[in-house]
Amino acid sequence: MPLIQVDMFEGRTADIKREFVEGITRETCRLLKCEPASVQVILRDVKKSDWATAGVLWSEKK
């Protein structure tokens, strides 16, 4: 029953998201030996102004 929650910067197209959930699910089934129907993937778009590394928002990085 893997549940995969992915935070990523916003801006990916519908096509890229579709291929990503397909690829990540196939890889999960292959490596964890589980059925595709048991794999849930939830994508969360995060704004660069809501994600910081080293104390600096990505919207502020040069």
For a copy of itself, the binding residues (CB under 8 A) are 1-9, 12, 14, 16-28, 30-32, 36-37, 39-46, 49-60
- DSSP code for 58: T
Give me the catalytic one of 1, 2, 5, 32.
Answer: 2
Residue 29 to residues 1, 7, 17, 41, Cα–Cα distance (Å): 10, 21, 18, 13
Active site residue 36: no
**Minimum CB separation from a copy of itself for residue 11, in Å?**
11
**Minimum CB separation from a copy of itself for residue 62, in Å?**
14
Tokens found for residue 13: 């197209």
* Residue whose entry in the numeric block shows the structure tokens 């999960």: 28
Which residues are annotated as catalytic?
2
